[in-house]
Amino acid sequence: MYYIIDNTNQAVHREPNKKSYSSTQYKSAGAAKAGITRTVKFYQKAFDQVNECLANGEKEYMANMYNAYRDATEAHFGRVHKQFASSYTIVAVADYVEPMITKTGICPGTGKEITVTEGINMPYYLSPLSESYWSR
């Protein structure tokens, strides 16, 4: 089994055109490489649509894939350079070490300030710093 790793933050990459509940693991390195190719083509299609709108004299936000274009170009989203194949690495699941980050904040459940160390791939709703964690 293999992962596609994003080189900018070492997180596991999910293809933009896949469902959120689909697996991020690939059975072979070739399948993972195909996933990188699909990602690059997805963002290239977004660039082409925006350029076509600009060529027709329309605003860039008139393109259907404008949000994907913004993901790949605006730095404040933290996802710049997603359209290049060199931004990704294929790693075996056994060799992947998940980077850890430490956050400090007010806990919504207790109101106390806490410090939490969690993996970079952990969904936000599983963090004790999120309100949805305490809403059950």
Summarised one tens digit per residue, pLDDT across range 55-78 is: 888 888 888 888 888 877 777 766
The rounded mean pLDDT for the chain is 84
User: 121 — phi, psi (to 5°)?
Assistant: -90, 0
Tokens of 96: 């992947």
Average pLDDT over residues 81-95: 82
Model confidence pTM above 0.75: no
On the question of pLDDT at 2 being above 90, the answer is yes
Average pLDDT over residues 1-20: 85
CA 13 to chain CA centroid, Å, is 6
Tokens of 27: 């059975």
**Cβ contact 1:29 at 8 Å:** no
What percent of the chain clears pLDDT 90, i.e. is strictly above it?
Answer: 12
